[in-house]
Structure 1
Amino acid sequence: MAITILEGLIGSTPVRDNWYRAGLANLGVALSYRFNRLGDLRDLVEAISRHRDAVELTPRAHPERPGRLNNLGTAFKARFQRLGELSDLHDAILMLREAVNLAPDSHPDKLSCLNTLGSSLEARFKCLGELSDLEEAISRHRDCVGLTPRGHPKRHGRLNNLGNALKTRFRRLGEVGDLEEAITILREAVDLIPRGHPDKPARLQSLGNSYLTRFERLGQLSDLEQAILILKDSVDLTPHGHPGKPARFTRFPRGHRHKPILLNNLGCCFQARFRRLGEPSDLKKSISILRAAVDLTPDDHPHKPAHLSELGNAFKARFNRLRKLNDLEDAILMLKNAVDLSPVVTLFSPLCLTALAVLSEPVLSASANQVTSRMQFCGIEVPMTSRLAITLQSLLVSTTLVTPSSFASGALGR
């Protein structure tokens, strides 16, 4: 109804009238909202067109221009998230930078502009790896947090974005100080948000993952225990699917869309504790939780291959412990499915190498032909390159990568 009314208003208002510009901007917002609810890409495309027209008709000194630039940049970012076109992300950053530069600190849209610009820059860093994008993202998030009052209802989300950006820089540069600051900031975000808030599980997830990351770096078991407690809390707080966005847009119902990721992370924590302490109950919990993550993740979701890979690794760990062939076969099936669902897979991709690593384990007590037979039993086609790779005596899962130079240097002949 609102969209129809706004379209009628625009159609009956002179182009130079202020109401025409306002109508365009509001129509763009309404179309973006409908896209967020229904996931119809046509709404987003039209929203971008309306927002662009509104920006072009708004003078540079007009107080509404920063907000309209922010709306346009946010719409470009949404289309990038949907289609993956980098040009949309570049356009989003251009619009948002102009909005930030035009808006004084007292402008009502300043905080939103800073927050969205920071997130867009971090997204581009993850695509292109330019450290300058990440540095600017952290700076923008710091500015946003600094301008957000302590009692502001969105402060926890802005703290979360800053903490995650710092954690991203830790992964790039390895500076433990970034990780320590991230944990402090993410802890504040968790403490600010009430237990019944729908974003509480996601905030707990960010904090729990940070403790897991610090455990992986420093080896302190207390960090792993904290990660398990926090991630278990996040899973317990996440419902199994109350009404919300349809699956064709988010691919998970609201309240449920984070659950597979939360389960996967918790399962990885139990697997890490099994590797550290050797308790079979931890491995059993890991497999159960990772299986639930896989079952809840649709095949067309980008996280599905990673969830399958983690479950395959857990089955491999149990095979190594108990030497039961059915665990090996389950591992092969999970990893084969992960490879099949990955958008780009080569012999040397991490998922493919993980699958080959699973197969390399029994090579010490079985011939390559026997291993190949097991693969074929599970429905895996075995090209000659894979048969050659199977003859490797060992592959280190996730850490040691086989490269084409390994074959050239005679690694297969050992």
Structure 2
Amino acid sequence: MKLGGSFVGGCASEEIPFRWWGTTDFALEKNIALSRTLLEGAPLGHPDHYLALVDLADLLHQRFMREEDGKDLDEIITLQRAAFQLTSPGHQEHLMTLTNFADCLDKRFWKEGDMEDLVEAIPIRRAALELTPPGHQEHRTSLVRLASCLEQRFSNEGALEDLAEVINLRRVALKLTPTEHGEHFASLAKLADCLDLQYFKRGGTMSDLEEIISLQQAALACNPLSTFDQAMCRASLARCLGEKHLRQHVTPPAVDFAPPVYNSPSITDPIFPHPTFLLLASRSRSEVRPRGPAGASL
């Protein structure tokens, strides 16, 4: 029995004994049933066992994206864990397998808030970073994904060691994110958020505060289209400017909270928060951004 090309590992699709084509629910259900039969015929030790695992996981993931059934996600993780255990660092699919596995653990963490998923995902993210050293096309992505997991753990457990590591990872990621990159605003804002947290939790110098302000101003200069991101960044900037001038014993300058001017002709008269939103200036942007389960931050 030879497994075929819609499998993540991929041989020629015509080698599949039978495959329902199309994107209908009916075709997907038939293909899931077929994939289960193929997996039963390729048990552990069979040369096609790995391909059978990832093919069924891929099909179940398609159904999960449509229906968001937690039982599908549980089975996907079980299959991907088994596939991950079959690949070594020298395996051609090792990086893809561990990345997919960690991504699904992240999804379940956000869906259910189980810290065990996050704990399992972090060393996998570290392994992915080791497999994508500087110069690798996925290096920046691996940095950001590990930083995101550590941020989530910090949000839940408050370990300053995690926050310090996140800052180091975010600094490297920012250097790899040019101004024209679609994630440039996020790289600036998230590094500023982390430094802001560290400054107000551990205390810091004036130069630390000035770095945060500089990053926040650079982020606002990117003119992100999200009114929420604009508002959060302005609130954080106002608070940091207030802190700076308190340290200097002078009255802080006013921060412009007028609605941002957008260059896009498709966006006119954007809704901006009521002036009471200025109260958020007393809290960090990371403290008010919507969170996942158990207080995990995005």
TM-score range for the pair, normalised by the shorter chain length? 0.5 to 0.7
- In structure 1, what residue type is equivalent to 2:234? F
Distance in 1 (alpha carbons) for counterparts of 2:223 and 2:140: 16
Match of residue 335 from structure 1: none
Amino acid at match of 1:267: A
CA–CA distance in structure 2, aligned partners of residues 41 and 214 of structure 1: 47
Distance 2:33 2:223 in 1: 39
Question: Do structure 1's residue 123 and structure 2's residue 83 form an aligned pair?
Answer: no
Could you state the TM-score of these two structures normalised by the residue count of structure 1?
0.50
Find the aligned partners of 2:74 and 2:128 in 1 and give their Cα distance. 21
Decide whether the 8 Å contact of 1:96 with 1:117 is kept in 2.
yes
Matched-pair contact (CA < 8 Å) for 1:99–1:113: yes
After superposition, the Cα gap between the structure-2 partners of 1:233 and 1:69, relative to the gap in structure 1 and judged at 3 Å, is farther
SS at match of 2:134: coil
Q: Does 2:260 align with 1:288?
A: yes
- Paired residues of 1:228 and 1:266 also in contact (CA < 8 A): no
Q: 1:334 is matched with which residue?
A: none
Determine the structure 1 residue equivalent to 2:211. Answer: 222
One-letter code aligned to 1:148? T
Q: CA deviation at 1:163?
A: 1.0
Percentage identity across paired residues of the two chains: 23
Superposition deviation, residue 175 in structure 1: 1.6
Structure 2 Cα separation of the partners of residues 183 and 143 of structure 1: 19
Residue 209 of structure 1 aligns with an amino acid whose one-letter code is K
* Alignment match, 2:249: none
Give the direction of change, closer, same or farther, for the CA distance of 1:316–1:95 in structure 2 (3 Å limit).
Answer: same
Is the Cα–Cα contact under 8 Å of residues 166 and 194 in structure 2 kept in the other structure?
no
CA contact (8 A) 2:189 2:216 kept: yes
Greater helix share, structure number: 1
Amino acid at match of 1:269: C
Partner residue of 2:92?
A: 108
Q: Quick check: 2:223–2:230 contact (8 Å CA) kept in 1? A: no
Q: C-alpha deviations, 1:265-302, integer Å up to 9, x for none? A: 23311122234546544311xx3379x9xx69xxxxxx
CA distance in 1, matches of 2:35, 2:217: 45
Question: What secondary structure sits across from 1:201 in the alignment?
Answer: coil
Counterpart selection for 1:141 from 117, 125, 148: 125
Q: Give yes or no for the alignment of 1:22 onto 2:4.
A: yes
- Superposition pairs of residues 190-205 of structure 1, within 5 angstroms: 190-192=174-176, 200-202=181-183, 204-205=185-186
Letter of the structure 1 residue corresponding to residue 75 of structure 2: D
Alignment of 1:2-401 (within 5 A): 16=1, 18=2, 21-22=3-4, 25=7, 48-49=32-33, 51-77=35-61, 79-192=63-176, 200-202=181-183, 204-206=185-187, 208-216=189-197, 218-219=199-200, 220=209, 222-230=211-219, 232-233=221-222, 235=224, 259-260=225-226, 263-276=227-240, 277=242, 279-284=253-258, 287-288=259-260, 311-312=272-273, 314-317=274-277
**Structure 1 residues 105 and 234: alpha-carbon distance in aligned structure 2, compared to 1, 3 A threshold:** farther
Larger radius of gyration: 1
Shift of 1:162: 0.7
1:145 is displaced (CA, Å) by: 1.4
Coordinate RMSD, CA, aligned: 3.9
- Measured in 2, the distance between the counterparts of 1:135 and 1:223 equals 30
Structure 1 distance, partners of 2:256, 2:220, is 15
**How far 1:90 sits from its partner (Å)?**
0.9
**Counterpart code for 1:215:** D
Matched residue type, 2:215: Q
Counterpart residue identity of residue 282, structure 1: D
What is the deviation of 1:147? 2.3
For 2:284, the equivalent position in structure 1 comes to: none
Gapped runs of 5+ residues in structure 1?
A: 1-15, 236-258, 297-306, 321-396, 399-414
How far apart are residue 316 of structure 1 and its match?
2.3
Aligned mates of 2:34, 2:132 — CA distance in 1: 30
Shift of 1:63: 4.8
In 2: Cα distance, 1:231 partner to 1:111 partner: 35
If asked which structure has higher relative contact order (CA below 8 Å, sep 6+), I would say: 2
Q: Distance in 2 between matches of 1:95 and 1:88?
A: 11
- CA distance in 2: counterparts of 1:183 and 1:319, whole angstroms: 27
Quote the offset at 1:221 in angstroms.
5.2
Residue-pair matches, total: 251
What letter corresponds to residue 74 of structure 2 in structure 1?
H
Question: Residue 53 of structure 2: SS of its match in structure 1?
Answer: helix
Matches of 2:66 and 2:261, distance apart in 1: 29
TM-score (norm 2): 0.67
Q: CA 1:24–1:131 in 2, change beyond 3 Å: closer, same or farther?
A: closer
Separation in structure 2 between the aligned mates of residue 319 and residue 181 of structure 1, nearest angstrom: 30
Q: Mark the runs of 5 or more structure 2 residues left unpaired by the alignment.
A: 201-208, 243-251, 281-286, 289-298
**Alpha-carbon contact 1:264-1:289 (below 8 Å) kept:** no
**Contact 1:89–1:124 (CA<8 Å) still a contact in 2?**
yes
Match in the other structure for 1:380: none
Once the two structures are superposed, residues 246-277 of structure 1 have per-residue CA deviations (whole angstroms, 9 ceiling, x without a partner) of: xxxxxxxxxxxxx53xx532331112223454
Q: Distance in 1 between matches of 2:70 and 2:219?
A: 35
